[in-house]
Homo-oligomer: A and B are copies of this chain.
Protein backbone atom coordinates (compact mmCIF):
# COMPACT_ATOMS: atom_id res chain seq x y z
CA UNK A 1 0.00 0.00 0.00
CA UNK A 2 1.29 3.50 -0.77
CA UNK A 3 2.33 5.71 2.06
CA UNK A 4 0.08 8.62 1.16
CA UNK A 5 -2.95 6.36 1.34
CA UNK A 6 -2.05 5.35 4.87
CA UNK A 7 -1.44 8.98 5.78
CA UNK A 8 -4.71 10.10 4.29
CA UNK A 9 -6.53 7.69 6.57
CA UNK A 10 -7.87 5.74 3.61
CA UNK A 11 -7.42 2.30 5.11
CA UNK A 12 -11.16 1.96 4.92
CA UNK A 13 -11.20 2.76 1.20
CA UNK A 14 -8.47 0.19 0.52
CA UNK A 15 -10.30 -2.30 2.71
CA UNK A 16 -13.52 -1.76 0.84
CA UNK A 17 -11.72 -2.04 -2.50
CA UNK A 18 -10.27 -5.39 -1.46
CA UNK A 19 -13.56 -6.54 -0.03
CA UNK A 20 -15.23 -5.76 -3.35
CA UNK A 21 -12.54 -7.80 -5.09
CA UNK A 22 -10.96 -4.71 -6.65
CA UNK A 23 -7.18 -4.86 -6.77
CA UNK A 24 -5.46 -1.72 -5.55
CA UNK A 25 -3.47 -0.86 -8.65
CA UNK A 26 -1.44 2.30 -9.23
CA UNK A 27 -4.22 4.03 -11.20
CA UNK A 28 -6.99 3.05 -8.82
CA UNK A 29 -4.97 4.16 -5.82
CA UNK A 30 -4.20 7.50 -7.40
CA UNK A 31 -7.83 8.01 -8.30
CA UNK A 32 -8.90 7.06 -4.77
CA UNK A 33 -6.44 9.60 -3.43
CA UNK A 34 -7.76 12.39 -5.67
CA UNK A 35 -11.33 11.48 -4.83
CA UNK A 36 -11.13 11.04 -1.10
CA UNK A 37 -8.16 13.04 0.17
CA UNK A 38 -10.15 16.22 0.77
CA UNK A 39 -13.79 16.93 1.52
CA UNK A 40 -16.67 15.47 -0.42
CA UNK A 41 -17.08 16.22 -4.10
CA UNK A 42 -19.36 15.94 -7.10
CA UNK A 43 -17.58 15.16 -10.32
CA UNK A 44 -17.87 13.73 -13.79
CA UNK A 45 -15.45 11.37 -15.50
CA UNK A 46 -14.16 14.23 -17.63
CA UNK A 47 -13.62 16.46 -14.61
CA UNK A 48 -11.65 13.73 -12.86
CA UNK A 49 -9.61 13.13 -16.00
CA UNK A 50 -8.75 16.84 -16.24
CA UNK A 51 -7.66 16.77 -12.61
CA UNK A 52 -5.49 13.73 -13.23
CA UNK A 53 -3.76 15.50 -16.11
CA UNK A 54 -3.32 18.66 -14.04
CA UNK A 55 -1.52 16.57 -11.41
CA UNK A 56 0.80 15.29 -14.08
CA UNK A 57 -0.51 11.76 -13.64
CA UNK A 58 -1.18 9.51 -16.64
CA UNK A 59 -4.45 7.57 -16.55
CA UNK A 60 -6.57 6.99 -19.63
CA UNK A 61 -10.15 8.21 -19.79
CA UNK A 62 -11.36 4.65 -20.35
CA UNK A 63 -9.75 3.52 -17.12
CA UNK A 64 -11.35 6.42 -15.30
CA UNK A 65 -14.79 5.40 -16.53
CA UNK A 66 -14.14 1.81 -15.52
CA UNK A 67 -12.86 2.80 -12.11
CA UNK A 68 -15.78 5.12 -11.40
CA UNK A 69 -18.15 2.28 -12.26
CA UNK A 70 -16.30 -0.18 -10.05
CA UNK A 71 -16.12 2.24 -7.13
CA UNK A 72 -19.84 2.90 -7.50
CA UNK A 73 -20.60 -0.83 -7.50
CA UNK A 74 -18.40 -1.23 -4.45
CA UNK A 75 -20.37 1.49 -2.67
CA UNK A 76 -17.45 3.92 -2.49
CA UNK A 77 -19.24 6.40 -4.75
CA UNK A 78 -22.83 7.32 -5.46
CA UNK A 79 -24.01 8.09 -8.97
CA UNK A 80 -26.23 11.16 -9.16
CA UNK A 81 -28.65 11.33 -12.05
CA UNK A 82 -29.72 14.91 -12.68
CA UNK A 83 -28.52 15.69 -16.17
CA UNK A 84 -29.44 13.40 -19.06
CA UNK A 85 -26.21 14.19 -20.87
CA UNK A 86 -23.64 13.30 -18.22
CA UNK A 87 -23.22 11.35 -14.98
CA UNK A 88 -22.06 12.83 -11.72
CA UNK A 89 -20.40 10.88 -8.94
CA UNK A 90 -20.58 11.85 -5.29
CA UNK A 91 -17.86 10.87 -2.85
CA UNK A 92 -20.35 11.27 -0.03
CA UNK A 93 -22.23 7.99 0.19
CA UNK A 94 -24.25 8.70 3.31
CA UNK A 95 -27.92 9.57 2.86
CA UNK A 96 -28.34 13.13 1.65
CA UNK A 97 -29.98 15.12 -1.13
CA UNK A 98 -29.14 17.82 -3.69
CA UNK A 99 -29.93 21.21 -5.05
CA UNK A 100 -29.34 21.25 -8.80
CA UNK A 101 -29.05 24.36 -10.94
CA UNK A 102 -29.41 23.57 -14.62
CA UNK A 103 -28.24 27.06 -15.62
CA UNK A 104 -24.69 26.45 -14.49
CA UNK A 105 -24.82 22.68 -14.05
CA UNK A 106 -24.08 23.02 -10.34
CA UNK A 107 -24.79 20.52 -7.57
CA UNK A 108 -25.01 21.47 -3.89
CA UNK A 109 -25.52 19.08 -1.02
CA UNK A 110 -28.51 19.10 1.26
CA UNK A 111 -27.68 17.30 4.47
CA UNK A 112 -29.86 14.27 5.10
CA UNK A 113 -31.00 15.76 8.36
CA UNK A 114 -32.07 19.01 6.70
CA UNK A 115 -34.77 17.57 4.49
CA UNK A 116 -37.67 15.25 5.15
CA UNK A 117 -39.63 13.02 2.81
CA UNK A 118 -42.68 11.39 4.32
CA UNK A 119 -45.89 9.62 3.46
CA UNK A 120 -44.98 7.94 0.21
CA UNK A 121 -47.43 5.16 -0.67
CA UNK A 122 -46.59 1.46 -0.46
CA UNK A 123 -44.23 0.56 -3.31
CA UNK A 124 -45.47 -1.47 -6.32
CA UNK A 125 -46.13 -5.09 -5.38
CA UNK A 126 -43.06 -7.30 -5.54
CA UNK A 127 -40.70 -4.41 -4.78
CA UNK A 128 -39.07 -2.85 -1.77
CA UNK A 129 -37.67 0.62 -1.29
CA UNK A 130 -33.93 0.89 -1.88
CA UNK A 131 -33.29 4.63 -1.70
CA UNK A 132 -35.10 7.96 -1.95
CA UNK A 133 -33.49 10.63 -4.13
CA UNK A 134 -34.62 14.23 -3.92
CA UNK A 135 -33.45 16.87 -6.35
CA UNK A 136 -34.47 20.43 -5.61
CA UNK A 137 -34.19 22.14 -8.99
CA UNK A 138 -33.30 25.81 -8.70
CA UNK A 139 -32.85 28.60 -11.22
CA UNK A 140 -30.66 31.70 -11.17
CA UNK A 141 -32.46 34.99 -10.78
What 0/1 pattern do residues 91 to 125 of A give for CB contact below 8 A with B? 00000010101000010101100111111110110
Inter-chain contacts of A114 with B (CB < 8 A): 119-121
Contact call B120/A136, Cβ cutoff below 8 A: yes
Is A12 part of the binding interface, using a Cβ–Cβ cutoff of 8 Å?
no
**A interface: dominant SS:** strand
Q: Which of A54-89 contact B (CB under 8 A)?
A: 79, 81-84, 87
Stretch of A16-24, A31-39, A127-135 lying at the B interface: A127-135
Which residues on A are within 8 Å of B, measured CB to CB?
79, 81-84, 87, 97, 99, 101, 106, 108, 110-111, 114-121, 123-124, 126-141
Which residue of the partner chain, among B130, B132, B136, contacts A129 with CB atoms under 8 Å? B136
Contact call A127/B101, Cβ cutoff below 8 A: yes
Contact call B115/A141, Cβ cutoff below 8 A: no
Can you identify 17 A-B contacts, CB atoms within 8 angstroms?
Answer: A79-B84, A81-B81, A99-B124, A101-B127, A106-B124, A108-B124, A114-B119, A115-B117, A115-B119, A116-B116, A117-B117, A117-B134, A123-B136, A130-B138, A132-B136, A133-B137, A134-B134
